Amino acid sequence: MTFLGIDLHTNCFTCCYLEERSQERRTESFQISGEGFERFFRTLTPQTHVLIEATINTFAFVERFQHRVGEVVIANTFRLKLISLTNKKTDKVDAEKLARILKMQVLSGEQQVSPVVIPPGFVQDLRSLFSSYVLMRKEITATKNRIHSLLKQALFPFTKEYIFGKKTRPSILAISDDPVLKAQLGLLFELLESLETKAEEFSDLILVAAAPFMSEIDVLTSMKGVSVFTAAAIMSDIITVERFPNSKHFTSYLRSAPRVESSNEKTIIKSTNKCGRKMSIILLSQSLNHFRDSNPKLTAWHDRLVTYKKKGLVRMGLCRRVFAEMFQMLKKGEYHYYRDQKNHEKKMSEYRAFLKSRGIEFGEILRLAS
């Protein structure tokens, strides 16, 4: 049995090979190229066990050789502290430490690293689309802020709601005789319209890519305030609810678990541990008030806590409660107990009609899900 630690970069990777019954160590570097992969593949056997850190290109890299080895473990970089704490840090040293960690884990049977789940191809595509969509939304926000700033500088203190309303937007361009201001506003509004169009196109692509999660989206959208888009984001983050043994693990993975820092007699509770994926918490927090007002239990809980706790902690606690309810819904495959049947059926019928307009039928959805 051979234990292989890989330190991966964007243009090359360094491998350290350790044998099971000896202290023999061999280190070799390869380029990320056709020739480099061919050399690397020749060193692999079905008895090879691999440990590699999660980086931007790890999933694509692992797909190249996963079928050639016995096991591949992708380590959570945030939790793999051993490499960063060493006094000496080189590619060879990092690869060797990964190999030794893996050898210790396999031979002892004790988990030394937190493995990262390799998502299916369509989930990787969905996550990539969400990342591009968020980038587009940030560009839209930055463009709107610049337009608002220019108008304030010129003593036109309009609200953002007025400036960017569909009916009032054209009149803003004719508000000043300053040619420089007019030119800037014209170009910025053109850019804004282009970005908004592209964001809508990304949104459509996301809804198409989320089709394999149709059954889970159906369950999640039964909760008031959860759109098909938000449900797709949650499923792209978690992949499957079966990964999580309980709601605490589920909410922690979605960045809604508190972080506790305690020393001596002083304890500080912060709103989030900043671990796990963040797309779901971003979208959920935008409609948090709607979740609270549509659920009498959450309303009573919120109104009681907000009288003596910080607003940020209460909001994060509210997110945690909502995610905990979602976990139970997905685990049991049941609709929410405050489901608005008419509204829920409307959301799902519109989503099915949208998919059908894109040429995706129910049978195709089942095939994608499998």
Residue-level pLDDT at 179: 86
pLDDT in tens, 296-350: 777 887 788 878 777 777 778 888 888 899 999 999 999 988 888 999 999 999 9
Residue-level pLDDT at 199: 93
Q: How far is it, in rounded angstroms, from Cα 310 to Cα 272?
A: 13
Structure-token match 């473990």, residue found: 73
pLDDT band at 4 (very low <50, low <70, confident <90, very high): very high
pLDDT in tens, 217-254: 999 999 888 899 999 999 999 999 999 999 988 888 88
Residue-level pLDDT at 218: 94
Percent of all residues in the chain with a pLDDT value above 70, rounded to a whole number: 89
Residue-level pLDDT at 364: 56
For residue 264, what are its two tokens?
A: 């001596």
pLDDT of 369 strictly over 60: no
Residue-level pLDDT at 296: 78
Angle between helices 311-332 and 296-305 in degrees, nearest 10? 150
Quick check: 102 and 110 in contact, CB under 8 A?
no
Quick check: 238 and 327 in contact, CB under 8 A?
no
CA dihedral 125, 131, 133, 139 (to 10 degrees): -150
Residue-level pLDDT at 240: 92
Q: What is the value of pTM for the model shown?
A: 0.81
**Adjacent-strand bridge partners of 19:** 2
Q: Minimal CA–CA distance to 134: which of 319, 252, 283?
A: 283
Q: What radius of gyration, in Å, describes the C-alpha atoms of the chain?
A: 25
Contacts for 9 with CB less than 8 Å, ≥ 6 apart: 32, 91
pLDDT in tens, 141-191: 999 999 888 888 887 777 777 777 777 777 777 777 788 888 888 899 899
Residue 160 CA, distance from chain mean position: 29
Supply the DSSP string of 157-168, one letter for each residue: ---HHHHT-TTT
Residue-level pLDDT at 271: 52
Over range 20-48, report the average pLDDT. 90
pLDDT in tens, 48-77: 999 998 888 999 999 999 999 998 999 887
Quick check: 75 and 114 in contact, CB under 8 A?
yes
Burial 105-130 (b: 16+ CB within 10 A, else e): bbeeeeebbeebebbeebbeebbebb
Burial 315-339 (b: 16+ CB within 10 A, else e): bbbbbbbbbbbbbebbeeeebbeeb
Q: Distance of CA 194 to CAs 28, 124, 142, 188, Å? A: 48, 26, 14, 10
Over range 96-111, report the average pLDDT. 82
pLDDT in tens, 274-297: 566 777 777 877 777 777 777 777
pLDDT of 262 strictly over 70: no
* 333 vs 82, higher pLDDT: 333
Residue-level pLDDT at 361: 67
Q: Minimal CA–CA distance to 112: which of 103, 98, 101, 100?
A: 101
**Adjacent-strand bridge partners of 317:** none
Angle between helices 121-153 and 179-209 in degrees, nearest 10? 160
Q: How far is it, in rounded angstroms, from Cα 147 to Cα 149?
A: 5
